[in-house]
Structure 1
């Protein structure tokens, strides 16, 4: 009798199922050091306890994408181990900061299933919640993945969830105590505040990073992400290891510092698509488009909604004349971040 787990296939999901993910993960300052070694991350609020304290927080929280990657990694063995592709995100909200010493657990509820017309795979929608050791919700988001079928049996009844196109500014959760009324722009690295940005403005983040095989695999192991396509070169017909989409996400977010140094904390993930596969040796660049601006109830704190695009090509290019993503576009991410007014 085998004791190993080959992962779930499309037939193993049913709407309403709640999956408790293994293994709890206690995070520490080591996560911060490794994250900043893997990516050119340098937003001040996530780099300095003193800066964070001047903004009303007790200390510097871990980077918001550390929360995302840690929770996401928990879900992989149960949701996407046999995935063909991770298709998208919606309704994501950061509900509390993640601090060194916190222990993260995660659960996912299956909220949709739909077999593909080819009969060999289907799409599964899950709503995932990450919690800390006190049972407080840290992060919640929806994602959908294309998962292989085990066999050729009959398809279950399709259930496609209705998802909000974006998180409303009024529903953003502002960390307790956050106060940008005495914000130090010189230490943050740029003078630009919320009112300096305009709707529709496109920001070329200028810098590029060539992706290395070893760095992507180190990052993926750090988050305990076990997806086969990232490690096993025999899992794809072309013999390539697919770069973890979250690695692309963190690289692009870090590159966005140049032009958006004061977009300090990610508080919502409105939507996202991994538009094209990414492989080692490719050079990633990033650009952003300003989609919305809003005030919040916290002193001096505003919110900026951004489209962040990771690309191998030119800034500002997203889709071709056919409406499909340009072949150079790797990631299209829609998110809210907090910024001084």
Structure 2
């Protein structure tokens, strides 16, 4: 049976410009939403109620934006980050159309950057990933970069290429779902009275609540998204013998916690930047706070865009970096994104 299995790609296996078609398309069902809402305290109304979504101009409640992201991300793991040391960051992310129950998603990635680390034992790979539905329509696109181990330490280093990435998705490049209309928005059913006009640039919000991560929950999440990265499953992969929490699990926890104070930030449609600042493990209690970075009008009736920084932490709110400019140990995630709110 030798030769039938595959140990995954290592840094020296990537070539600049190559396109990788990821295996195992997945058909989305309503179960995806139910499991997502069971794993996180997710309760934004647009993703919870078909009737609420129809009142906002959509045909029904789409699958949660981050559930769609995790699903596409999971397709890429066997080819991109199976042998990753760490997932380092995100940029230029855009949700291009809603994902509905019944859609079948697949993913394609292109290698846009390579740089071997100075220790010669690993390197950074940049990829642009596109998620496509059954009609080959793109549903989302994003760049991420990953530190990947080398297998053959004698393999020559590639010519370093670091892609130039936008600091943020421009507001005019955000794609508003067709038909979205917040002019008749029901603030009572959404859970909070605060509209886009009520938020000021520079304002900070403590989301108050916390969630303690359980081993079973994060393992279920990782399996749900078919994320096969070894550091999430195999405790022997790390010297401390602990499974590393999938970064997407922390992203969804932070987004769900942000409901308290940002209940009307209904749809995430742009991912400007993201850093998994420190590792997260089962037993940690995660809290979140947000800062308003920018605001913009959109062409959709009654719809405004708000740019937010949401930070997941095990410590106090509004604390991010030390005097040396590095993230403090308690900071787990620093996420910069655009969301849609009623005006």
Same fold (TM over 0.5): yes
Deviating beyond 2 angstroms after TM superposition, the runs of 4 or more aligned structure 1 residues are none
Q: Which runs of 5+ in 1 are unaligned?
A: none
Partner in structure 2 of residue 178 of structure 1: 180
Partner in structure 2 of residue 273 of structure 1: 275
CA positional deviation for 1:150: 1.0
Partner-residue secondary structure (3-state), 2:143: strand
Q: Quick one: distance in 2 between partners of 1:88 and 1:49?
A: 33
In the alignment, is residue 96 of structure 1 matched against residue 105 of structure 2? no
Q: Quick one: distance in 2 between partners of 1:230 and 1:9?
A: 17
Partner in structure 2 of residue 50 of structure 1: 51
Equivalences for residues 213-252 of structure 1 within 5 A: 213-252=215-254
CA positional deviation for 1:151: 1.4
What per-residue deviation string (whole Å, max 9, x for no partner) do you get for residues 63-108 of structure 1? 0001100000000000000000000000000000000000000000
Partner-residue secondary structure (3-state), 1:234: helix
Partner in structure 2 of residue 86 of structure 1: 87
Number of matched pairs:
341
Partner in structure 1 of residue 195 of structure 2: 193
CA positional deviation for 1:53: 0.2
Partner-residue secondary structure (3-state), 1:203: strand
Q: Quick one: distance in 2 between partners of 1:154 and 1:168?
A: 38
What per-residue deviation string (whole Å, max 9, x for no partner) do you get for residues 34-80 of structure 1? 00000000000000000000000000001000110000000000000
- TM-score normalised by L of structure 2: 0.99
Q: Quick one: distance in 2 between partners of 1:323 and 1:160?
A: 22
Q: Quick one: distance in 2 between partners of 1:93 and 1:340?
A: 20
Q: Quick one: distance in 1 between partners of 2:221 and 2:75?
A: 14
Equivalences for residues 26-65 of structure 1 within 5 A: 26-65=27-66
2:337 to 325, 335, 338: 335
Q: Quick one: distance in 1 between partners of 2:57 and 2:152?
A: 55
In the alignment, is residue 121 of structure 1 matched against residue 122 of structure 2? yes
Q: Quick one: distance in 2 between partners of 1:289 and 1:173?
A: 23
Partner in structure 2 of residue 154 of structure 1: 156
Q: Which runs of 5+ in 2 are unaligned?
A: none
Q: Quick one: distance in 2 between partners of 1:303 and 1:315?
A: 24
Partner in structure 2 of residue 314 of structure 1: 316
In the alignment, is residue 296 of structure 1 matched against residue 290 of structure 2? no
CA positional deviation for 1:130: 0.2
Q: Quick one: distance in 2 between partners of 1:129 and 1:283?
A: 33
- TM-score normalised by L of structure 1: 1.00
Q: Quick one: distance in 2 between partners of 1:224 and 1:115?
A: 28
Q: Quick one: distance in 2 between partners of 1:105 and 1:90?
A: 20
Partner-residue secondary structure (3-state), 2:235: coil
